[in-house]
Amino acid sequence: MSILEGSVIAMGILSGIFKSRDKPKNRTAGSAYGFFLGSTTSGKPVTERTAMQMTAVYSCVRILAEAVAGLPLHLYQYTDNGGKEKAINSPLYFLLHDEPNPEMTSFVFRETLMTHLLLWGNAYAQIIRNGKGEVVALYPLMPNRMSVNRDEMGKLYYSYMISKEDAPNNKGNIVNLNPSDVLHIPGLGFDGLIGYSPIAMAKNAIGMAIACEEYGAKFFANGAAPGGVLEHPGMLKDPTRVRESWNATFGGSSNSSKVAVLEEGMKYTPITISPEQAQFLETRKFQINEIARIFRVPPHMVGDLEKSSFSNIEQQSLEFVKYTLDPWVSRWEQAMIRSLLSLSDKKKYFIKFNVDGLLRGDYQSRMSGYATARQNGWMSANDIRELENLDRISVEEGGDLYLINGNMTKLQDAGIFANKNNLGMEGTK
């Protein structure tokens, strides 16, 4: 059997497997429990948009979206000597680094897609190509209007719902796109094709945070009268009028601390429990940490400095880059390489975010590290200056020289090793 025949048989087997597979779904495998747009145990409906009204969710999403958008993004090409250099002459370099389309910058484009990825679990962008198949533009697509399906042959295709305002001439309101026309960055999921929304997976925790915030808002709205009983020694003819008059005079935070004058032997008895006794503040604080845990954002980055100090806050920031940003960056890089580069271009180019600037320590630590690298010969002056965003030193001035300490020598030429080597050479004479 030839290799070609074996490949055809293998493809046939794989095709049969894909035909039998269900289309990608936003739910757990074998479960009818849907996560999106459902109510929560707290009674508060949680969606991607209502969750963003929570300050903790908004802060986490903004931190991660701006962090990914602010990283330098470059297209590199392999050189003949085994190194790499920026492929600034490639049209794709300009799209990724500067403007993916005429309407937005690279920062805004990546910030938008990262926000989609954090809220819906998926980020989509339409790839516009010219007649040669080259990428000429990238446009974001709303994830809540995109669905991923399989045709009769088991091949994936993307269906995007467009509104009449977007395309009045389109009667079907559905546009089918090939996988080669879509940049799809999936988040964590169970089938490897569609990611699940962090908001949907943790909607009970977010719903409880929304309920706590609403409770606090209502408490302060009641101001000096957070709830109580007006007692009258006799019979009131119109209790509704008395209650409304009391609320109008003493209700609301603007009426707090007003002096109440009670007539006809009337007595006011408060019946509410203070927020401290109900551990309201502790609950709100825990829910903020819970939301930060969902997005794996250090608490000090969302304003909780209780467990942060000058001695550990830098380490927490480095851990944020290593354990939070790096996985997201890898998803971006591999998705862009898969979708934007042809099979032949993948052998010549690669796409890379530069996170070195975020991993740098304080000035003294960097200089100490550079000195060690410079003295041991694995970094030149220009290598160091590039990391510090300084101008290069010319070759004539020694900018590309690799130096080592003159006192260093090879192990085989030192001490007892050199003597043994010399004795061995004399014995052979």
Does one domain contain both 166 and 184? yes
Q: Residue 29 pLDDT > 50, yes or no?
A: no
Does one domain contain both 213 and 102? yes
Does one domain contain both 37 and 116? yes
87 falls within a domain: yes
| DSSP string covering 37-90 | T---TTS----HHHHTTSHHHHHHHHHHHHHHHHS-EEEEEE-TTS-EEE-TTS
What are the tens digits of pLDDT across the range 104-157?
999 999 999 999 999 999 999 999 999 888 899 999 999 989 988 888 888 889
Domain end position, chosen among 207, 236, 271: 271
Domain end position, chosen among 237, 252, 271: 271
6 falls within a domain: no
Cα gap 393→378, rounded to integer Å: 17
Please report the pLDDT score of residue 207 as a whole number: 80
Average pLDDT, the chain: 76
Number of domains in the chain: 3
Please report the pLDDT score of residue 170 as a whole number: 56
Please report the pLDDT score of residue 15 as a whole number: 46
396 falls within a domain: yes
CA-nearest of 156, 212, 185 to 40 is 212
Range of the domain at 167: 23-223+273-359
Does one domain contain both 262 and 285? no
Does one domain contain both 248 and 339? no
Does one domain contain both 320 and 371? no
11 falls within a domain: no
Q: Is 175 strand, coil or helix?
A: strand
Please report the pLDDT score of residue 427 as a whole number: 53
Please report the pLDDT score of residue 102 as a whole number: 94
What are the tens digits of pLDDT across the range 226-262?
456 656 566 666 667 666 776 776 666 565 655 565 6
17 falls within a domain: no
Neighbour tally for 54: CB within 10 Å: 22
* E strand or H helix that includes residue 429: none
CA-nearest of 381, 333, 383 to 354 is 333
- Helix count and strand count (H, E) for the chain: 15, 11
Alpha helices in 181-279 (DSSP H): 198-201, 203-221, 239-250
For residues 149 and 156, the answer to whether their CB atoms sit within 8 Å is yes
Does one domain contain both 208 and 238? no
Does one domain contain both 243 and 375? no
pLDDT band at 17 (very low <50, low <70, confident <90, very high): very low
Please report the pLDDT score of residue 232 as a whole number: 59
Choice between 281 and 206, residue whose per-residue pLDDT is larger = 206
Outline where DSSP puts E strands in 338-377.
349-353
Please report the pLDDT score of residue 382 as a whole number: 87
Domain end position, chosen among 323, 338, 359: 359
Interstrand relation of 146-150 and 156-161 (parallel, antiparallel or unpaired): antiparallel
Cα gap 37→142, rounded to integer Å: 16
What are the tens digits of pLDDT across the range 347-358?
999 999 988 767
Q: Which range has the top average pLDDT, 190-194, 293-297, 298-302, 348-352? A: 348-352
Does one domain contain both 263 and 285? no
What are the tens digits of pLDDT across the range 54-106?
888 899 999 999 999 999 999 999 988 778 888 999 999 999 999 999 999 99
12 falls within a domain: no
CA-nearest of 140, 76, 64 to 106 is 140
416 falls within a domain: yes
Does one domain contain both 120 and 48? yes
CA-nearest of 27, 226, 49 to 142 is 49
15 falls within a domain: no
Cα gap 386→322, rounded to integer Å: 22
Whole-Å CA distances, 293 to 46, 60, 290, 297: 18, 10, 5, 6
Q: ∠ CA(24), CA(129), CA(183), 5° rounding?
A: 30
Choice between 420 and 155, residue whose per-residue pLDDT is larger = 155
What are the tens digits of pLDDT across the range 165-214?
655 565 558 889 999 999 999 998 887 788 888 888 878 888 877 777 77
pTM of the model: 0.70
* Furthest CA-CA distance within the chain: 128
Q: Is 374 strand, coil or helix?
A: helix
Does one domain contain both 245 and 390? no
Does one domain contain both 141 and 159? yes
CA-nearest of 191, 184, 404, 212 to 290 is 212
